[in-house]
Each structure stands twice: as structure tokens, then as C-alpha cells.
Amino acid sequence: MSRLVILFLLFSPLCLADTLRIGLPDSDYPPYHFMAGKEEGIVSDLLNRFAKQYGVSIDYFYVPEKRSQKMLDEGLLDGRIESVEWYVGQNQYYWSDALAMVEDVLVMPSGCHIPMIEQLAGYVLMARYGYTYPQFEHLFQSGDMHRENFYSEFEMLLALMDWEHNQRVAVISRDALTWYFARNNDFKKFTVSDYSVGKAPLQLQFAFDERGKETSKQFNDFLKNLKSSGEFAKIMNNYQ
């Protein structure tokens, strides 16, 4: 093998023998991510297509939200799913373009009235463990609202079904609700807020280094081409 080829393999950000270490949640986040079943989820579907196009392999690490962020900061991951709107730290990263727009809404048992955010003092917010909710942080800090953590939207919906009182309200993405409503008639009995409590782009968050810079650029190019060809829309339709 020539010296030129050896140098290329050593320093190319994404060469054929390369592996990307990607952190994903350790619980379902439909329709973006699934731990088991026939569906891969939108994120894995896109990443696997990207890997095939660029000749790289992907090692997935299924870990909780806070741990995956720590692993990225410690150099144990190359990327993870996140949103620039949700990140509350001070570190720098490279970000992908939006994979989807996540809209959060409030959910309560059937027949309950869902007040506006400023009228939720005294309520318990059911939320995903490790996730941030900018619209509610001031209520948590003032002590006007208590937060109860769950590991998935599915757990929240089950808890709401078993709860006899009406002082708990869950924050769940509209896409996740649509997914579960289409597959479980019991879940259709919930009351959903007619207003959103946050919108943010779902993105890939890459390490702030040369590898992360190159990977984010390549992934964004891949994403743009996928959208312009119509393939991106087909992928999204598979998860409706």
C-alpha cells in the first residue's frame, strides 16, 4: 500500500473502515426511535441510510438522556439525538439540520379541563427523565409545580389511566400521541391541550472537533439530497 493511501486512511474523517458511535434513548420515543419491534424509528432509518451511502458503520449506544450527554462530552460518543433548543449547557457542538419538528402538548384524563400554563400552579407535571422543558422551568424553580419523571411517553399514558385525580398533567410530543392513539383505542380517551407548550427541531448533536465538523457537514448534505429526491418524505410517511 502506498504511503499516500495510508495517510488518507489515517486522517480521513469518515473512511471506509470508520465507525460512528451514536447515542440513542434506552426507551421508545415514537416515531423517532424504537428499542424493539419491526420499526427502526426515523432517526435510525436515516442514520443507517447515511452510513450505507458513506461506507461507514454505526455502533449504537442505548443509554439514558443525561448519560449520553456525558458520554458525548467525554469523547465516548460521536453524536446523539438532541435539539439546540433543549440543550442547557455551555459547551459547543456541531448540529445537524432538523430531522423533524417536535411539538409538545399537555395530556390529562378524559373529561379534565387543561388550564393555560400560568394556571398550572399546584399541578404535577409528568415528564421524561432528563428532558428539559423551558416553558415550565420557572414553575419548577418557584415551587409552584412539582415534576414527576418517567422513562417513556407510554409509561406516562399508563399512569394517567390509573390515576383517579386530575392534578397530574403529562407533557408529550404530538407525534408520539398520534402514534399511540393509532395503535391503542384506550389512549384515545385522553384530553389533549389545544395549545402547544414548546416546539423544537429534533437534531443530531455532534462533538465539537474535526470529526464532528466533517460528519455534520456530510450528514446535512445527505439530508438535503434525501429531501430534494422525495425519499425523506417517503421515510416520514412510513411512520404515520
Alpha-carbon gap, residue 96 to 46, rounded angstroms? 12
Per-residue pLDDT, 240: 81
Render 30-42 in DSSP notation, one character per residue.
TTTB-SSSS---H
User: DSSP E strands: which ranges in the chain?
Assistant: 19-24, 57-62, 79-82, 94-95, 100-108, 124-128, 146-150, 168-173, 191-206
Per-residue pLDDT, 3: 44
Domain coordinates in residue numbering, the chain: 15-100+200-237, 103-198
Spatial CA neighbour of 56 closest among 8, 15, 23 = 15
Residues 89-107 have pLDDT tens digits of 999 999 999 999 999 999 9
Q: How far is CA 210 from the centre of its chain?
A: 24
Whether 15-100+200-237 shares its CATH topology with 103-198 is answered yes
What pTM value is reported for the model?
0.88
Residue 17 has pLDDT above 50, yes or no: no
State the burial class of residue 207 (Cβ atoms within 10 Å of its Cβ: 0-12, 13-18, 19+).
buried
Most confident of 8-17, 65-74, 186-195: 65-74
CATH topology of domain 103-198: D-Maltodextrin-Binding Protein; domain 2 (3.40.190)
Place of cell 400554563: 117
Per-residue pLDDT, 186: 86
Alpha-carbon gap, residue 217 to 183, rounded angstroms? 37
Between these two residues, 49 and 163, which has the higher pLDDT value? 49
When pLDDT is cut at 50, 70 and 90, the band that residue 37 belongs to is: confident
Residues 148-205 have pLDDT tens digits of 999 999 999 999 987 666 789 999 999 999 999 999 988 888 999 999 999 999 999 9
Choices 3.40.50.720, 3.30.420.40, 3.40.190.10, 1.10.3130.10: CATH for 15-100+200-237: 3.40.190.10
Q: What is the largest CA-CA distance in the chain?
A: 73
Kind and range of the H or E run holding 73: helix 65-73
Spatial CA neighbour of 51 closest among 12, 20, 13, 82 = 20
Alpha-carbon gap, residue 106 to 114, rounded angstroms? 8
Mean pLDDT of the chain: 91
For residue 22, the cross-strand partners are: 60, 79
